[in-house]
Amino acid sequence: MSDLDAIDRKILGHLQADGRITMQELAGKVGLSVSPCHRRVKLLEERGVITRYIASVDQKALGLHVSVFISIKLARQKEEDLKRFEKAISAWPEVLECYLMTGNRDYLLRVVAADLSSYEAFLKTKLTRLDGIASIESSFALSQVKYSIALPV
């Protein structure tokens, strides 16, 4: 699966920091010439190690001032209950992250909204309308201290 050598990991490190670095510059940084560097990047893309390239956008500039972590407990934990819940939240753009947690097997969601009233609208028109939810607990973030998508390589 992941037989990534040292050069692959270097490449991934640089691409996580700058997804638009030129092949020439990237090749220089990892000590290869352009062609083999290019081939490695293409292989990493094909193997699904690099999943995609993204522009990162400032949350405040979009007017999204509210970040909420929501703990959700389901009434039943049968496979089909989980699947139905996961399918629903996956379709909502306000939900940026969702994790199935150990312990009580509940879900942890990170949701963004413009303000408290649009968060309330999200709760009322979407989340609380789902069947099979036993409890919802919202925790609000005062500020985002760190946000990185660069995994340690």
Partner DNA sequence: GATGAAAGAAATCCATT
Partner DNA sequence: AATGGATTTCTTTCATC
Q: What is the Cα–Cα distance from 8 to 70, expressed in whole angstroms?
A: 37
Q: 111: which residues sit within 8 A by CB, 6+ positions away?
A: 67, 68, 69, 70, 94, 95, 96, 119, 122
Q: What is the Cα–Cα distance from 71 to 117, expressed in whole angstroms?
A: 19
Is there binding between residue 67 and a copy of itself (CB under 8 A)? yes
Q: How far is the CB of 149 from DNA (least distance, A)?
A: 20
Which of 46, 79 has the CB closer to DNA?
46
Instruction: Looking at residues 6 to 45 of the shown chain, list those that interact with DNA (rule: CB under 7 A).
Output: 7, 22-24, 32-36, 38-40, 42
Q: What is the Cα–Cα distance from 112 to 116, expressed in whole angstroms?
A: 10
Q: How far is the CB of 24 from a copy of itself (least distance, A)?
A: 16
Q: How far is the CB of 43 from a copy of itself (least distance, A)?
A: 12
Tokens representing residue 152 in the block: 């340690």
Q: How far is the CB of 129 from a copy of itself (least distance, A)?
A: 18
Is there binding between residue 99 and a copy of itself (CB under 8 A)? yes
12, 70, 72, 127: which one binds a copy of itself (CB under 8 A): 12
